Amino acid sequence: EAASTPIPSTYHCKRPTPYLIITNISKRQNIKNLLQIAAAYGCPTIFVVGQKKFEFDPDAVGTDIPPMLQNVVRSGKMDIVRFDKLEECVKH
């Protein structure tokens, strides 16, 4: 019977941090679904390019952030960062 060799701690890798870039999405419900999916996968930051007709302030009347995520954004556990152009987002 072969003895199991413990894996040295130097082999444990930190999980990569997921990010989401939202660009060119026209339907409000699709935006909300993407925000919920990002939260489910633990995205700490969502980058929004363009999309000026959508409201991402959790305290605004008619916000496009789903109710279950509004406190997450308020508390800073998830950031929504806006850019006018994709090139600006990529440089960030």
Rounded Cα distance between 64 and 2, Å, is 57
The pLDDT assigned to 51 comes to: 85
| Tokens, residue 38 | 């990002």
Least reliable range by pLDDT among 4-13, 40-49, 50-59, 61-70: 4-13
pLDDT (average), residues 4-27: 78
Structure pTM? 0.78
Judged against a pLDDT cut of 80, whether residue 4 lies above it is answered with no
Tell me what the mean pLDDT of segment 31-36 comes to: 94
